[in-house]
Amino acid sequence: MATRVATATSQMCRALYKLSIIFEIEFALNTTVGHSALWLNFTAHQSLPVINLLTPFFDQVHYLTLENNFYRVQGMLSLRDRQIFNNDMSAKIKSIIQQKSRNELMIELEVKNRELYESLEDLKQTTRMKEQLQEQNLRMGAELNVSRMLQQMILPKPEELVIEKLDIAGFMEPADEVGGDYYDVLYTHGVVTLGIGDVTGHGLESGILMLMVQTAVRTLKEIREVDPVRFLDTLNRTMYKNVQRMNSEKSLTLAIVNYADGEISISGQHEEILIIRNNGQVERIDTMDLGFPIGLDSEIADFISHITLDLQPGDGVALYTDGIPEAKDINKVQYGVERLCKVISENWYKSAQDIKDAVITDVRRHIGKQKVFDDITLLVLKRKSDIYQEIPQHLEFKSKT
């Protein structure tokens, strides 16, 4: 019987403890019902839980509202036909009930303390992870800033684009999270060299790789290396060895366009090269079979090739990175090469600067308020003619491989 009463008491105590209700317990033998009975009263200033917490253990359970806003749940266990305990035995039962209730509460408290400790440990770990993430973000942000600075530092200055009989304009806008585009214009020994590339990934490594490529290209031009296979093969072996030393997995697509005396030579694998004739007609040159990604393998000579084309007065070439055709609008629709060709064709009668501005304006209009996820780079070269002829409104774009 003591265990029965103690279990009922513990059930009620746990319920009140979880609800943070301050209460008092009264336990007594009572004969007011005509025979001996055990009475258990829970009294509190707040409304107490439903009485079915005690119902399985007592013969009668009452919910009473007392004076002065006191609330009481009262359980009675009849001792009729049971042994009537003396005062010592009653005191023992009371002690057992109090002890069991205390033990139950201590166990409950230990569980709560353990849960609290585990929560604190989880909070500490979360805080550490948050701090590590913040440090990583700061470091990556610093690396991206350095990468963007390197990009801007190695761009050709405006005065370097002023070359006799040519009209040249370049544009690069780094994205917030990416810093992998490269372009350059070099004029050495009567040859104009256009270089355009895109490094995989982003961050400081990409910026360093771009700087290495720019230095290697300029060095090869200064020593008058004109053979396209030897040029790209030497550059690749240089970059590959440096990438291996860096324990990096970076590589880049790179196209080299040389112009001299009305003729251009194209080598290297990158995006399509656009050749624009003086009437605005666009020829798309696929570079897939003209080279191999730089820094990916030590030997690429067998994959390198080149083509030569004539540029008449008014003709020109446009180079770009994938940030333009792959730019997306709010519906995830890409800008596309066809639209790029159309805008260039419609504006080809203008100066290289105006052509560049028309393309960038149209790309930005397409993107709208969407976040820019990749660098946007464009390079336009146009052989000057005395008269720029306005182009027809409707032209078909053809590919030339």
DSSP string, 106-168: HHHHHHHHHHHHHHHHHHHHHHHHHHHHHHHHHHHHHHHHHHHHHHHHTSPPGGGG--TTEEE
pLDDT of residue 398: 43
The more confident residue out of 382 and 211 is: 382
Where residue 223 falls among pLDDT bands split at 50, 70, 90? very high
- In terms of residue numbers, what domain contains 47? 2-112
The more confident residue out of 91 and 18 is: 18
Q: For residue range 132-149, list pLDDT tens digits in order.
A: 888 877 776 776 777 677
Q: Are residues 96 and 184 in the same domain?
A: no
Q: Are residues 177 and 86 in the same domain?
A: no
Mean pLDDT of 287-291: 95
- Give the Å distances, CA to CA, from 147 to 44, 136, 171, 211: 69, 16, 17, 10
Q: Are residues 70 and 167 in the same domain?
A: no
Q: Are residues 202 and 95 in the same domain?
A: no
User: Which of 80, 112, 144 is where one domain is finished?
Assistant: 112
- Give the Å distances, CA to CA, from 263 to 195, 266, 336: 16, 10, 28
Q: Is the pLDDT of residue 288 over 70?
A: yes
Mean pLDDT of 80-106: 61
pLDDT of residue 312: 96
CB distance 292 to 344 below 8 Å = no
Q: Are residues 35 and 165 in the same domain?
A: no
Which of 174-183, 203-212, 223-232, 358-367 is predicted with the least confidence, judged by mean pLDDT? 174-183
Q: Are residues 193 and 315 in the same domain?
A: yes
| Phi then psi dihedrals of residue 56, to 5 deg | -65, -15
Q: Domain for residue 37, yes or no? A: yes
pLDDT of residue 92: 64
Q: Which tokens is 30 given?
A: 């009572």
H or E stretch including 267?
A: strand 263-267
Strand, coil or helix: 384: coil
Where residue 388 falls among pLDDT bands split at 50, 70, 90? very low
Distance CA 209, CA 205 (A): 6
Where residue 208 falls among pLDDT bands split at 50, 70, 90? confident
Mean pLDDT of 40-53: 80
Q: Domain for residue 126, yes or no? A: no
Number of domains in the chain: 2
Percent of the chain with pLDDT over 70: 84
Q: Is the pLDDT of residue 331 over 70?
A: yes
User: Which of 112, 137, 166 is where one domain is finished?
Assistant: 112
Tokens 């446009």 found at: 318
Q: Are residues 88 and 221 in the same domain?
A: no
Q: Is the pLDDT of residue 80 over 60?
A: yes
The more confident residue out of 390 and 24 is: 24
Q: Is the pLDDT of residue 51 over 80?
A: no
Q: Are residues 356 and 258 in the same domain?
A: yes
- The mean pLDDT value of the chain amounts to 84
Tallying the residues shown for the chain, one arrives at 401
Would the CA dihedral through 8, 9, 11, 16 be positive or negative? positive
Tokens 């005395």 found at: 386
The secondary structure of 53-81 as a DSSP string is GTTTT-SEEEEEE-GGG-EEEEEEEE-TT
Q: Are residues 267 and 357 in the same domain?
A: yes
Distance CA 198, CA 58 (A): 82
The more confident residue out of 388 and 257 is: 257
pLDDT of residue 129: 84
Mean pLDDT of 71-92: 69
Q: Are residues 252 and 337 in the same domain?
A: yes
User: Which of 96, 112, 128 is where one domain is finished?
Assistant: 112
CATH number for the domain that contains residue 353? 3.60.40.10
Q: Is the pLDDT of residue 110 over 50?
A: yes
Q: Domain for residue 253, yes or no? A: yes
Where residue 284 falls among pLDDT bands split at 50, 70, 90? very high
pLDDT of residue 396: 41
Q: Are residues 197 and 318 in the same domain?
A: yes
Amino acid 170 reads: G
Q: For residue range 54-68, list pLDDT tens digits in order.
A: 887 888 888 888 777
- Give the Å distances, CA to CA, from 107 to 112, 177, 292: 9, 53, 70
Q: Domain for residue 127, yes or no? A: no
Q: For residue range 159-178, list pLDDT tens digits in order.
A: 999 999 999 999 998 876 55
Mean pLDDT of 103-125: 77
Distance CA 372, CA 5 (A): 71
| Phi then psi dihedrals of residue 250, to 5 deg | -75, 150
